[in-house]
């Protein structure tokens, strides 16, 4: 049963921007959305899934991977049960399937194996 649904991916030229969204889709998860830390991961062709950014349960603290720092911004709107990833100055190496994930609120975690729920992913392709 899918509990997180990503959207906003697509094809963009290098230097362009995209905004990804991830919404809670199941009533039981929606009720407790604000008790979860949320994160974005990505997996490029032939690569392992890597951490991109995370935000804590109330949106007051974020963590961003060095590879995207200054270009990607994670945020959340608990009233809408949605987390966002704003991506600017995109590069071809940002091409990947982007996944959102949720874990019960603790310290922000970068290891994908620690996350409890995952979305189905959305493709981002950056052309040179």
Q: What is the mean pLDDT of residues 109-123?
A: 94
Structure confidence at residue 57 as a pLDDT band (50, 70, 90): very high
Spatial CB neighbours of 107, under 8 Å, sequence gap ≥ 6: none
The rounded mean pLDDT for the chain is 94
pLDDT value, residue 89? 98
What is the rounded CA–CA span in Å between residue 72 and residue 84?
10
Q: What is the mean pLDDT of residues 79-108?
A: 95
pLDDT at 90 over 60: yes
pLDDT value, residue 100? 97
pLDDT at 2 over 60: no
Q: Are 51 and 112 in contact (CB under 8 A)?
A: yes
Neighbours of 7 (CB within 10 A): 13
Q: What is the mean pLDDT of residues 79-94?
A: 97
Structure confidence at residue 112 as a pLDDT band (50, 70, 90): very high
8-38: per-residue pLDDT in tens? 999 999 999 999 999 998 877 778 899 999 9
pLDDT value, residue 122? 97
Q: What is the mean pLDDT of residues 2-13?
A: 92
The percentage of residues in the chain with a pLDDT greater than 90, rounded to a whole number, is 86
């Amino acid at each position: 049963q899918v509990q997180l649904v990503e959207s906003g991916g697509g094809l963009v030229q290098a230097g362009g921007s995209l905004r990804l969204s991830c919404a809670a889709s199941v009533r039981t998860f929606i009720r407790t959305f604000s008790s979860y830390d949320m994160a974005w991961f990505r997996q490029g062709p032939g690569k392992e899934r890597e951490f991109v950014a995370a935000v804590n349960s109330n949106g007051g603290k974020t963590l961003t991977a060095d590879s995207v720092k200054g270009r990607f911004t994670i945020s959340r709107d608990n009233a809408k049960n949605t987390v966002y990833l704003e991506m600017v100055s995109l590069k071809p190496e940002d091409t990947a399937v982007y996944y959102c994930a949720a874990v019960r609120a603790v310290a922000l975690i970068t290891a994908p194996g620690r996350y409890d729920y995952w979305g189905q992913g959305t493709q981002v392709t950056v052309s040179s």
